[in-house]
Every structure is written in C-alpha cells, then in structure tokens.
C-alpha cells in the first residue's frame, strides 16, 4: 500500500473494527456469566417460592392418587420463560404451570441439573419437601438464555455496523483534508517551469508537512544560488571571450580596409596577438571548468617539487624570456603528496603571474617559507594595494596596475588548484621590497623532505 | 568628429583607435571609469563609446553619473553583456545606442555618426550648405554634382563648420575635433586647412570672424 491515505484509513478502520469486536466478545462472555447467575438465582427463588406456597397450603389442593395434575396459576411474565412442575415423591405429577411440559424436568435430587426434554435443553432447580412429600421443579430453556445473550450482543453490534461506515467516511474525509496542503504543494510544484525557484508557500500546512516545505525551500535557495553563481561566471566568461573576439574582428577589418601597408601590418600583428590571447583564455577557462568539476582530479602521488618547478619554469619561459625563475635549493628536495595535474596548474599559474608582473631585469624566486609547511614565490613587480589583495583570486579580477594582457583567471585557477592539493594560497606584499609574495600553505602531511635529500643536495 | 572610447582591452582599444580613425573619426582612448570621467569633464566629445565592464567599476555607473549631472553627450554602450535585460538597463540608464561584442567596425562607425548627429539635433545622414553636400559615411564631398577632393582633416574641418552653418567655431574647437590628445598640433594647422578649403570652395565660403573663429557664410 503506497498511499499514505489508504494506509492510514485501513489501519484506523481495522483498529476500530477490532476494538469493537474484542469489546463484543468481552461483553458476550461477561454477560453470559451474569445472565447465568441471575437466571439461576431466579430459578432458585421461584422454586423456593412455589415450595413455600405449597407448604402453606395455598396451592394446589392435595391431589388424589391417579387424578389429573392440578394447574398452578401463572404469575405474569413467567409464562414463557419459567416452567414449574410439582411432583410427589412417588413420581406422580401433582401440578404444573401452563407452559410446562408433561415430561419430568429432572430426575435428580435437590439442586441444579440440566436435561433435554422434548428435544430442548433445560436447566432445572429442584426443591424437595419431605414433610409434604413433594418435589418442586422450576426450569427454563437454555435456548432462551442463549437468545438473551445473543440479543445483547446484537444490540451492541448493530450500531457498530452503522457507525463503522460513517466513521470510515469521516476518517477518509479528514485524512483528505489533512493531506490537502501536500496536494496543493504537489500541484504547485508540478505546474512550475524550470526557472521558477521561488519558495513553496507552506501556508496553513500541518506541522508534519512544514519541515518538508522548509527543506524544499532550502534546496531551492541553494540551487538558485548555485545557478546565479554559474550565470555570473558564464556572463563573465562571455564578456572575457567576446572582448578579445571583438578586438580580433576589429583588427581584421582594419587589415582588410587599410590602404597604408604599415597600418595593415600592424593590424595583422595585433590579430596574431589577439588569437594568442584568446586561445590562452580558452585554455584557462577549460582548466577552471575541470577544477570546478570536482576534486577527483587524478590520484594523489608523490611529486618531487624540484623537477616540477623546473618543468613549470620551462613552460612559462615564453611569457617573460628575460626574467629568470630561481629555485631555493631547500625546496628542490621536497616531495609533495598531491594530484600531479592540479599541482602543476597551481605552480604554473603562480609562476606565470609572477613573471607577468616582473619588470625587465627582475627575478622571480621560489622559496621555502620559513617555519611553515609552505612554499612561496616572490616577484619584483609593484605588488598590489592592500584593498586589492583579497580580490586577486576572484575570477576575472584584474588589479588596477594590471597590464591588460592577463586573463584575470590565473590566480583564480591557482586558488582552485590549491584546494585540490589540500593547500591554500595567501597573497601579500613583500616586506623587504616592492613585489608580491604568493604563499602556498599545505595541510599537514602533504609536504615532506625526500628520502634522497642527501643525494639531491 | 571626436569620440572618446572607454575600453579596458588593449587590443580592442588599439583596433578602435585605428579603425575609427580610418572612418574619419578622431579617437581619444581611456581604460578606466575614473579616466573617462576626467576626460569628459575636461573635453567636449561628439560621442562616447563606453564599455560596460571596466577594471574600476561599471560603465553604467559612469553613464548614470554623467546623465545625472546633465551631460547630454551621445553615448553608445559597447559590451559583451548583451542580453535583452542588459540592453534595456543600458538604454534606460541614458545610453543612446547599444552594440554587443563582437561587432562590425563599419556598423559601429555608422552608429557613432548616427548618435552624434542626433546629439546636435540633425536627422539627415548628409550635411548641406548651399550647393555643397557632405557625406560623413563615405567621407565624400560633392559640389554641384562634382566630387571635391578633400584630405581627411580638411573634410573634418568642413564637416564641423557645416554642422551648424552660421555658428562660429573657434580655432581651439576645430583643433579639438581634429586631433586627439596624443597628436602633436602644429600651431597654424587649422589656418592651413581653412586656406585649402577656401581654395577648393571659393574664398567666400568660409568667413573669418576676427578674434572668435570661423563660420560658413550665411545666406545664398
């Protein structure tokens, strides 16, 4: 049974019905005992009463031997239920009540006995009067007793038979009413288009449904925030891609239109630059998308830092051929436990950033940060204003002093890659001279000295 | 025609300067909101090409501040954000036109001419004075059905004077129209251009108002 309504309904109806049945059985058993007791007492009383009447001589006249039995006058109400016989001790029927059978109701002595007379079971009480020489038998049909109890139970069950369906209708309707807010929310949600992330109105919903509505609203909020973030990034990406494309097209149109060969050549050179920039931007956007896709970017492996930095420096050489990348011998021997691709992106983008901001004749240096599980790269550029420092790792953020040639993504990629390598980036101005210092702090256990440290040194 | 281009991308900026220059526009370029506001405060431009996303803020804010201070310089928003809502926001903030990147250089030049002539209350694409017709789009001048051969600078001076025949243009007005900031202005450049124009159009065409400047001679 998948439906809550049907399940609740069935449970309630079955429980109510069962309760009623148990009550009926209980009452049946109890009533039966009670009826037995009461009727037995009545038999006893009736027998004693008749016996005392006979003893007092009120009835019947002493029958002659062999004469027909006298009739005992009936007390109103006893006619149907009780039968009375008076027998002489020598087994003659002295008298009987009008409804009583002729056959002897009991053979036994005094007290209660049961016997089948004329095919009907009887319960009989006998009183023996030795002085008068008679035995008074008063009995009633067991069938009557049974009917009495049955009627009682029927009286109990009949209303139940009427009330149970009524109860069913009531339960069904009230369940429907209780679940209506759920229906309303369902209808509202199914009628929505995919863009609509507004809150579900819990309204007067019962307290069981409110948490669901609250949870849904919480989820909507999260999805909406994620989507807004995505839209913003997409809008930025569109801007960042369209601008170099616009530059490209403009320069190409100039090259087509220009009469002056110098102007045309310059435009063509700009076209080449624009293509380079655009392709670098696309590469970086893809790198960022990969990093965004999840932290499962390759398995963690032991990467020797020295050779990786050399590789990175070689890759970045084209960006600034005149600026050397120095590496502190102390970190050459370090080994990092990190996904190689992410680590590469981290170091490459930090190195590129440092090279881009270095003046001609400057030096970029990778160092071990003293006293920390960290390495840093310093350049000899202008650094950044304190206000800009926290914004540098935002996507597409370019500092006021930027050359305009950067994509504004490098440090954002470095930050995302750092998170993949269980590291974080801290950017600060150099204390000893103008320039930016980018520190990479690794979590405990990522950075370790190589076993071959001695050999490498 | 002198136009201020506010754009932070160096390649596009260079392209706009050279490309619009080919279309006969004198271009001044700045890359930030702050520089744009300083330039607009100090000089009169026939139009402004404004990028929306700039390193130190939004071009839209520059636009709003400018319109808030009563500046009526025609402004064309040039931006990569070209959803309908972005366009609507831009136009409602006071922009005269909106062009999404990437764009066609010729279309941009045409739109600049369009907002610039609307800015001086003119609807026709060509300028007329007596029997001389100037077509800024084609940079051609026709007199009495015969094409006149004018240099780029001569054309610019004539166009400036013909925009409102009868109105006086001072020498420095004309120099501003002809030269961007980076260009060296020779002291008598305007006189030389006016002289050449008088040779081609006749001595009577351009009147010197002593101490004030030049204007196209009134009447027929």
List the structure tokens of A35.
């009826």
d(Cα A359, Cα B108) in Å, to the nearest integer? 37
- Decide if A400 is inside a domain: yes
> What is the spatial distance between Cα A71 and Cα A61, in angstroms, rounded to a whole number?
10
Confidence of residue A268 (pLDDT cuts 50, 70, 90): very high
Residue A393 lies in a domain: yes
Last residue of a domain, one of A131, A155, A179: A155
Name every chain A residue with its beta carbon within 8 A of the beta carbon of B105. Answer: 249-250, 253-254, 257
Query: What are A67-96's pLDDT values in tens digits?
Result: 556 666 554 443 457 888 888 888 888 888
Is some CB atom of chain A closer than 8 A to the CB atom of B8? yes
* Statement to judge: residues A253 and A301 lie in one domain: no
Handedness of CA A348, A354, A356, A359 (dihedral sign): negative
Residue ranges per structural domain of chain B = 2-119, 127-216
Instruction: Tell whether A440 and A371 lie within a shared domain.
Output: yes
According to DSSP, the β-strands at B2-6 and B26-30 are: parallel
Whether residue A356 is found in the same domain as residue A258 = no
Is the Cβ pair A235, B81 closer than 8 Å? yes
Three-state DSSP at A204 gives: coil
d(CA B79, CA B60): 11
Q: Convert the pLDDT of each residue in A325-361 to its tens digit.
A: 888 888 888 888 888 888 888 999 999 888 888 888 8
pLDDT band at B5; cut points 50, 70, 90: very high
Determine the topology of domain B127-216 in CATH. Answer: Arc Repressor Mutant, subunit A (1.10.10)
CATH, domain range B2-119: 3.40.50.2300
Q: What is the pLDDT, as a whole number, of residue B130?
A: 81
Q: A66 pLDDT exceeds 60?
A: no
| Phi (first) and psi of residue A195, to 5 degrees | -80, -20
- Shortest CA distance from A235: residue in chain B: B81
Lookup result for tokens 């039968």:
A83
Residue % of chain B over a pLDDT of 90: 20
Last residue within a domain, chosen from A291, A322, A355: A291
Please give the Cα distance from A369 to A426 (Å, whole number). 12
Question: DSSP letter at A390?
Answer: G
Distance of CA B153 to the CA centre of its chain: 13
Q: If contacts are CB pairs under 8 Å, which of residues 42-61 in chain B contact chain A?
A: 53, 55-56
A245 — contact with chain B (CB < 8 Å)?
yes
- A38 in any annotated domain: yes
Is the CB of residue A37 less than 8 Å away from at least one CB of chain B? no
| Residue A160 in domain | no
Six token digits for residue A5: 């309504």
Longest dimension (CA), chain A: 165
Q: Are residues A281 and A391 in the same domain?
A: no
**Residue A197 distance to chain B (closest CA, Å):** 19
Cα–Cα dist A362/A380, whole Å: 6
A111-117 and A120-129 beta bridge pairing: antiparallel
Cβ neighbours for A149, distance < 8 A, ≥ 6 positions apart: A28, A31, A32, A35
- State how far the Cα of A218 lies from the Cα of B91, in Å rounded to an integer: 36
Cβ atoms of B118 and B72 within 8 Å: the answer is no
What CA–CA distance (Å, rounded) separates B212 from B220?
23
- What is each CA distance from B23 to A127, A257, A265, B20, B177, in whole angstroms? 141, 10, 18, 5, 14
B97-119 as b/e: b if 16+ CB within 10 A: bbbbbbbebeebbebbbbbbbeb
What is the percentage of chain A residues whose pLDDT exceeds 90?
8
Residue of B10, B32, B102 lying closest to A246 (CB–CB): B102
SS3 A70: strand
- Chains A, B: CB contacts within 8 A come to 90
Q: Which helix (H) or strand (E) holds A127?
A: strand A120-129
pLDDT of residue A78: 37
User: Is A373 within a domain?
Assistant: yes
Q: Would the CB atoms of A400 and B100 count as touching at under 8 Å?
A: no
Q: How confident is the model at residue B112 (pLDDT cuts 50, 70, 90)?
A: very high
pLDDT at residue A276 is higher than 80: yes
**What are the beta bridge partners of residue A402?**
none
pLDDT tens-digit map of A373-398? 888 999 888 888 888 888 888 877 77
> In the prediction, which pLDDT does A404 show?
57
CA A357 to mean position of chain CA atoms: 53
DSSP-assigned states of every residue in A258-288:
--SHHHHHHHHHHHHHHHHHHHHHHHHHHHH
List, as one string, the DSSP characters of B106-132: HHHHHHHHHHHHHHTT---SSEEETTE
Cβ separation of A267 and B18 shorter than 8 Å? yes
Separation between Cα atoms, residue A369 and residue A428, nearest integer Å:
13
- A235 contacts on B by Cβ (under 8 Å): 81
Interface test with B, best of A231, A232, A243, A248 (most B CBs within 10 A): A243
Predicted confidence (pLDDT) at residue A237 exceeds the cutoff of 50: yes
| A393, two tokens | 């790792």
What do you get for the CA distance between the two ends of chain B, in Å?
Answer: 26
Pairwise CA distance, residues A411 & A348, whole Å: 10
Q: A113 and A134 share a domain?
A: yes
Number of Cβ within 10 Å of residue A114's Cβ equals 12
Which pLDDT value is given to residue A79? 45
Instruction: Write the residue in B12, B80, B81 that is nearest to A250 by C-beta.
Output: B12
Instruction: Establish if B14 touches chain A: CB-CB under 8 angstroms.
Output: yes
Q: What is the pLDDT of residue A403?
A: 58
* Min Cα–Cα distance to chain A from B84, Å: 13
Domain at A266, CATH number: 1.10.287.130
Q: Which of B15, B100, B106 has its CB closest to that of A251?
A: B15
Q: Can you tell me the mean pLDDT for B97-118?
A: 90
pLDDT band at B98 (very low <50, low <70, confident <90, very high): very high
Q: Are residues A328 and A400 in the same domain?
A: yes
Q: Please indicate, yes or no, whether residues A277 and A312 belong to a single structural domain of this protein.
A: no
The stretch B124-141 carries a mean pLDDT of: 81
Beta-carbon separation of B81 and A240 below 8 A: no
Query: So what's the pLDDT on residue B107?
Result: 92
Chain B residue nearest residue A259, CA to CA? B22
- With CB atoms and an 8 Å threshold, state whether A273 touches B31: no
Identify the band that residue A453 occupies on the pLDDT scale cut at 50, 70 and 90: very low
Question: What pLDDT, on the 0 to 100 scale, is given for residue A58?
Answer: 66
Element (H, E) at A224: helix A210-257
> How far is A282 from A285, CA to CA, in rounded Å?
5
Using 50, 70 and 90 to split pLDDT, how confident is the model at A405? low
Class of residue A234 by CB neighbours under 10 A (exposed 0-12, middle 13-18, buried 19+): exposed
Do A284 and A320 sit in the same domain of this protein? no
Please tell me the distance from the alpha carbon of residue A38 to that of residue A25, in angstroms, as a whole number: 20
pLDDT at B111: 93
Q: Which residue of B has its CA nearest to A406?
A: B9
Domain boundary, last residue among A259, A291, A323: A291
ipTM of the prediction greater than 0.85, yes or no: no
The gap from C-alpha A148 to its chain's centroid, in whole angstroms, comes to: 55
Report the domain count for chain A. 3
- Which H or E run includes B97? strand B97-100
Examine the domain organization and report whether A268 and A334 are in the same domain.
no
pLDDT of residue B165: 75
Instruction: Answer whether B107 touches A (CB < 8 Å).
Output: no
A405 lies in some domain: yes
pLDDT at position A4 is: 79
- Arithmetic mean of pLDDT, A236-265: 87
Contact B49, B59 (CB under 8 A): no
Whether the per-residue pLDDT at A8 is higher than 70: the answer is yes
Dist. CA A321–CA A336, nearest whole Å: 28
Task: Tell me how far apart the alpha carbons of residues A368 and A439 are, in angstroms, rounded to a whole number.
Answer: 9
Residues of B whose CB is below 8 A from A242? 80, 100-102
What DSSP state is assigned to residue B169?
Answer: B
CB-CB under 8 Å, B22 with A257: yes
Is the CB of residue A81 less than 8 Å from the CB of residue A45? no
For residue B53, give the chain A residue with the closest CA: A239
What SS3 state is found at A80? helix
Q: What is the DSSP letter of A62?
A: P
Indicate if A237 and A320 belong to the same structural domain: no
pLDDT digits (tens, 9 = 90+) for B137-191: 878 888 888 888 888 888 888 888 887 777 888 887 788 777 777 677 777 888 8
- CB-based contact, A391 to chain B, within 8 Å: no
- Residue A197, domain member (yes or no): no
Q: Confirm whether A31 is domain-assigned.
A: yes
Please give the share of chain A, as a percent, with pLDDT higher than 70: 90
Helices A261-293 and A210-257 sit at what angle, rounded to 10 degrees?
A: 160
Mean pLDDT computed over A307-319 = 86
Residue A437 belongs to domain with CATH number: 3.30.565.10
- What is the DSSP code (8-state) at residue A391? G
Range of the domain at A87: 4-155
Taking the Cβ of residue B80 and every Cβ of chain A, the question of whether any pair is shorter than 8 Å is answered with: yes
Task: Return the structure tokens found at B17.
Answer: 């300067």
Chain B nearest-CA residue for A246? B102
Q: Are A118 and A52 part of one and the same domain? A: yes
Residue A272's pLDDT is what? 92
Of B122, B123, B162, nearest in space to B142 by CA: B162
A229 and A86 share a domain? no
pLDDT category of residue A158 using cuts at 50, 70 and 90: confident
């Amino acid at each position: 049974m998948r439906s809550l309504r049907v399940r609740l309904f069935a449970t309630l109806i079955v429980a109510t019905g069962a309760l009623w049945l148990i009550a009926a059985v209980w009452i049946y058993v109890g009533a039966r005992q009670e009826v037995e007791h009461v009727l037995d007492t009545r038999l006893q009383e009736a027998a004693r009463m008749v016996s005392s009447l006979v003893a007092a001589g009120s009835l019947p006249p002493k029958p002659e031997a062999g004469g027909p039995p006298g009739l005992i006058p009936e007390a109103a109400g006893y006619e149907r239920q009780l039968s009375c016989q008076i027998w002489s001790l020598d087994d003659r029927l002295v008298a009987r009540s009008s409804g009583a059978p002729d056959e002897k109701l009991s053979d036994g002595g005094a007290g209660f006995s049961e016997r089948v007379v004329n095919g009907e079971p009887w319960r009989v009480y006998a009183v023996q009067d030795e002085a008068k020489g008679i035995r008074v038998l008063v009995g009633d049909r067991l069938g009557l007793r049974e009917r009495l109890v049955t009627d009682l139970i029927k009286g109990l069950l009949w209303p139940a038979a009427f009330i149970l369906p009524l109860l069913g209708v009531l339960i069904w309707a009230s369940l429907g009413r209780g679940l209506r807010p759920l229906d309303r929310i369902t209808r509202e949600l199914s009628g929505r288009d995919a863009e609509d992330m507004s809150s579900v109105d819990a309204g007067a919903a019962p307290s069981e449904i409110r948490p669901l509505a609250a949870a849904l609203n919480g989820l909507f909020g999260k999805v909406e925030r994620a989507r807004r973030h995505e839209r913003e990034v997409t809008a930025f990406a569109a801007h960042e891609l369209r601008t170099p494309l616009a530059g490209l097209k403009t320069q190409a149109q100039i090259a087509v239109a220009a009469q002056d060969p110098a102007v045309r050549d310059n435009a063509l050179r700009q076209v080449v630059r624009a293509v380079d920039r655009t392709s670098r931007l696309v590469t970086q956007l893809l790198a960022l998308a990969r990093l965004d896709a999840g932290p499962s970017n390759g398995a963690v492996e032991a990467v020797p830092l020295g050779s990786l930095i050399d590789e990175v420096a070689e890759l970045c050489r084209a960006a600034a051929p005149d600026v050397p990348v120095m590496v502190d011998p102390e970190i050459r021997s370090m080994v990092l436990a990190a996904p190689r691709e992410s680590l590469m992106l981290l170091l490459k983008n930090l190195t590129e950033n440092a090279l881009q901001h270095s003046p001609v004749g400057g030096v970029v240096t990778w160092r071990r940060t003293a006293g920390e599980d960290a390495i840093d790269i310093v350049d000899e550029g202008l650094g950044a204003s304190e206000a800009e420092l926290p914004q540098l790792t935002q996507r597409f953020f370019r500092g006021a002093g930027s050359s305009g040639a950067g994509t504004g993504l490098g440090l954002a990629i470095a930050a995302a890659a750092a998170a993949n390598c269980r590291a974080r980036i801290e950017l600060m101005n150099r204390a000893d001279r103008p320039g930016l210092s980018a520190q990479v702090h690794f979590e405990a256990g990522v950075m370790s000295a190589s076993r071959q440290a001695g050999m490498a040194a | 025609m002198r136009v201020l281009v506010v754009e932070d991308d160096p390649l596009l900026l260079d392209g706009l300067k050279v490309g619009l220059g080919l279309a006969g526009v004198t271009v001044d370029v700045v890359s930030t909101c702050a520089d744009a506001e300083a330039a607009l405060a100090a000089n009169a431009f026939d139009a402004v090409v404004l990028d929306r996303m700039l390193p130190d803020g939004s071009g839209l804010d520059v636009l709003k501040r400018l319109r808030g201070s009563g500046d009526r310089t025609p402004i064309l928003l040039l931006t990569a954000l070209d959803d309908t809502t972005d366009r609507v926001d831009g136009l409602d903030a006071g922009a005269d036109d909106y062009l999404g990147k990437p764009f066609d250089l010729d279309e941009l030049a045409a739109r600049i001419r369009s907002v610039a002539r609307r800015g001086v209350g003119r609807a026709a694409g060509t300028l007329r004075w007596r029997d001389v017709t100037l077509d800024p789009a084609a940079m051609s001048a026709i007199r009495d059905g015969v094409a006149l051969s004018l240099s780029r600078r001569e054309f610019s001076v004539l166009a400036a004077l013909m925009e409102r025949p009868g109105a006086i243009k001072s020498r420095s007005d004309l120099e501003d129209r002809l030269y961007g900031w980076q260009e060296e202005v020779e002291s008598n450049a305007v006189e030389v251009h006016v002289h050449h124009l008088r040779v081609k159009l006749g001595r009577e065409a351009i009147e010197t108002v002593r101490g004030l400047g030049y204007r196209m001679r009134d009447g027929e």
